[in-house]
A = this chain, B = another copy of it.
Amino acid sequence: MPFHQHQLPNGLTILGETNPAALSAAVAFWVKTGSRDETPEVSGVSHFLEHMVFKGTPRRDAFTVNRDFSRIGADNNAWTSEENTVFHAVVLPEFLAEVVDVLADILRPSLRGEDFATEKKVILDEIVRYEVQPGWAVFEKARKNFYAGHPLGNSVLGTTASITALTRDQMADYFRRRYTAPNILAVAAGNFDWPAFVRLIEKACGDWPAGEAPRSNRTETPGAGGVHVIPKPADKVAQQYVTLVAPAAAADSPLGYAGALVATIVGDYTGSRLFWALTDPGLADEAGMGIDECDAAGAYYTSFNCPPERAAECYGIVREILDDVQTNGVSEDEFRQAKTKVLSREVRAGERTQRRMLTVAKDWVYRGGYRSVDDELAAWDAVTLRDVRTVLDRYPLTNQTVTAYGPLEKLA
């Protein structure tokens, strides 16, 4: 699967991994901006802007945007995170030109005042809808508690107050500063012609303004620490939700592989230590651990939810497991199992053009380079038990910021 790259004079990066055996082509515009690039006054603007991108351009209204994706059978979507806003679509190979035409067009949105007002209501609804989901709320609050002022703790959705106050001009200003050509990648993977793709992007995006969009505050953080209990009336939140956050390797760190294996061993949704100790015996309804690798920082998230009367017991078990892994490391058997699990998932994910496209983009954004599926598998394979020890020493699992959300007034 040959890899290609090209940069337009305005700074826009074009990436492609061609695979003639694939049945589809996956395409994305990847904008390196998200909630961590927002000031408090415009909290949530990245995500709101992602919505506005689908509301139309001088050439297309919202109806036409939807229709033009629909009539080529495009499976398209978008998402916003703390660091990225990504617009992507998968199509049959013969629709490459059409899908680039729509995607590139909407990336220069009109941001019409009327659409802005209508969509604001949708966003405000979304904020309320999420806030009442305790599994989401505890994660949002845990993140905020851990990052304590670091911009990675910024909310993607924003708040009712910040979105209500946000103006169309503030959004237009954010768009001008952040959606510049050097801050955007056009990426494709699968069955497509590379020179044709470059020509399409050149034609559609060659006149997008240049201009750097640097990110400030690219620092690690040790986390605030402490136990933060947020009591909720039992008739609103029946279960107790607990999330522990600890520093982990950043996205460009070679320690990331070992860190991900630690998270798999401790807290994969099945067959992990937390699974056997909490989920399988029915002590907790859900329990797991994951790793979130960001730009210049990273974090482990360990979480569970259970009936309030079992929260202290579950919390004790979680801390015991984390302490045990920290002190004694992991066994050779569980290490080998975790590797097989991760390798197997990577391989299966690599069968889909959409996943390859997103991985190619992510590797470029976070590691400044390209890795083939084989490179990636080799990197996983090369991790040793010694690397696990190294990552545990560098990022101890004992250094947790704890957030509890539910009926309890105190956790233990």
Q: Please report A residues at the B interface, Cβ cutoff 8 Å.
A: 21-24, 63, 66-67, 69-75, 90-92, 95, 270-271, 276, 280, 333, 336-337, 340-345, 347-348, 350-353, 373
Cβ–Cβ < 8 Å partners of A270 in chain B: 66, 70
A-B contact pairs, 21 of them (CB 8 A): A22-B351, A23-B348, A23-B351, A23-B373, A24-B344, A24-B348, A24-B351, A63-B276, A66-B271, A69-B271, A70-B271, A72-B344, A73-B337, A73-B342, A73-B343, A75-B344, A90-B344, A91-B344, A92-B343, A92-B344, A348-B353
Cβ–Cβ < 8 Å partners of A343 in chain B: 73, 92
Q: How far is the CB of A144 from chain B (nearest CB, A)?
A: 29
Cβ–Cβ < 8 Å partners of A342 in chain B: 73
Q: Complex: how many Å from CA A333 to CA B67?
A: 11
Cβ A75 vs Cβ B347 within 8 A: no
Cβ B337 vs Cβ A75 within 8 A: no
Closest to A336 in B: B71
Cβ A344 vs Cβ B271 within 8 A: no
Cβ A271 vs Cβ B341 within 8 A: no
Cβ B90 vs Cβ A341 within 8 A: no
Cβ A74 vs Cβ B351 within 8 A: no
Q: Complex: how many Å from CA A350 to CA B22?
A: 10
Cβ A23 vs Cβ B350 within 8 A: yes
Cβ–Cβ < 8 Å partners of A352 in chain B: 348, 351-352
Cβ B353 vs Cβ A90 within 8 A: no
Cβ B344 vs Cβ A70 within 8 A: no
The 8 Å CB contact of A73, one of B24, B67, B344, is B344
Q: Complex: how many Å from CA A117 to CA B234?
A: 31
